Amino acid sequence: MPIFELTIDRLAHTGEGIGTLDGRAVFVEGALPHERVRAAVTQGKVLRGELLEVLTANPARRTPACPLADRCGGCDWLHFDERAQREAKQQAVIAALDHLGGIAPGTYQQLPMVSGAQAMGYRRRAVMHAANGGLGFFGRRSHERVRVDNCPALTAGLATLPKRLGELLASVSTDLEELRLLESGGRVAVALVLKKPPRPKVRQAAEELLAGKLVHGVVLVVPNGALEAFGEVELHDGETLLRPELFAQANAEVNAELVRSAISLLAPAKHERVLELFSGNGNFTLPLSRAAKEVVAVESSRGSVALGQKAARAAGVGNLRWIEGDALKTAKGLSAEAQFDCLLLDPPRTGAPGIAAVARQVGARRVLYVACDAAALARDAKELAQHGYEPKTLQVFDLFPQTQHTETIFLWAR
């Protein structure tokens, strides 16, 4: 590959540095704005550079705290000071909205970015894979597996578990598709996602994890979707219930602020009906039900719906209806029988194309969009603007320190 010296102008929303070569953008992972670097450039439809040397460093560059930072794909911004990380994330969201969505800065209120007290040791959830006789994460932009025995990004209850879990599961590592870790309230549960139906040896390994008091619960997830549970697999996060095989936000502290701010901005009144799409197991659902007259929550995952229903029953919530189904299709069907004052949605990274038309169909006057991808948010924001919704308030949350990922909430009204 040819080697070039490049000046890095800015960061992409993917977190890569962007330089210019013969008028074309070059994406260089690990490079920071205002740096002069040497990079081996791969020619193609998109030019990508492998960072070889930093000739002139950004003042925010630092030595990564983790010895695996140059190989592990878990944290891609360990070389970047936290304050500068947060500024870059805020600007990336604003730039995506402007350039991809046509939503210019100044047309909406920007609230201060929210970050947590811990820049490391905050992750209560992780997905790991068998790696070199232990457990690990995928490498940078690859499916090469990097063994991780101790992960400083994980909570104190999880940080040293990879080594011990890897040793106990070594005899069944070929059965594992992945292992999902979850910690909440000082209790730990894991899900072993299997490539094939469990052998007796796999069940024995699950029992040994419990007997060794490494975890409080184990779930075996079989390819056909069947589950086998050992011990206590349901964890509490306030009134919300969590399970290791289901999605949960990784940063408990900042997630709590995210929920509070989302409910506050949407501000459902006691006489208003709320439709929640992509509700998961109820991260926003119970707080919404406390504020509104009625909440209808739609989620495609059967396990998440069941867990959310169980939590709602335990909390004595009576104004909440759960529906298992595709979010947008279900919302369209609901529009024929009922109208809603507010809409809250928390879609996956791909966003929710078509959400603006659905919002109009269900009658929503206010829409609170929760986004984990700036580009998807921008595309859907463009649709909302085209359907008569006006941007009101934006807030970015640093839910994932040491990475380029963000969580954003955006309030719209008509």
pLDDT digits over 342-373, tens only? 999 999 999 999 999 999 999 999 999 999 99
Residues of the chain above pLDDT 70, percent? 100
pLDDT value of position 359: 98
Local confidence band at 114 (pLDDT 50, 70, 90 cut-offs) = very high
Give the span between the Cα atoms of 32 and 382, in whole angstroms: 29
pLDDT value of position 44: 84
pLDDT value of position 43: 83
Across 96-115, average pLDDT: 97
Contact 225, 234 (CB under 8 A): no
Across 17-22, average pLDDT: 95
pLDDT value of position 216: 97
pLDDT value of position 99: 95
Question: Given a cut of 80, is residue 141 above it in pLDDT?
Answer: no
Beta bridge partners of 38: 5, 53
Chain centroid to CA 25: how far? 28
Across 78-103, average pLDDT: 96
Residues of the chain above pLDDT 90, percent? 94
Across 176-182, average pLDDT: 97
Give the span between the Cα atoms of 264 and 208, in whole angstroms: 45
Domains and CATH numbers, the chain: 3-61 (2.40.50.140), 87-117+251-413 (3.40.50.150), 125-242 (2.40.50.1070)
**Which of 130-134, 248-252, 307-311 comes out lowest in average pLDDT?**
130-134
Give the span between the Cα atoms of 70 and 35, in whole angstroms: 18
**pTM exceeds 0.85 for this model:** yes
Contact 37, 19 (CB under 8 A): yes
Across 41-66, average pLDDT: 94
Across 239-253, average pLDDT: 97
Question: Given a cut of 90, is residue 153 above it in pLDDT?
Answer: yes
What is the per-residue pLDDT across 388-407, written as a single tens digit (0 to 9) for each? Answer: 999 999 999 999 999 999 99
Question: Given a cut of 90, is residue 58 above it in pLDDT?
Answer: yes
Across 316-329, average pLDDT: 97
Phi, psi of 219 (to 5 degrees): -115, 130
Across 244-268, average pLDDT: 98
Beta bridge partners of 331: none
Contact 58, 81 (CB under 8 A): no
372 an active-site residue?
yes
Across 159-184, average pLDDT: 96
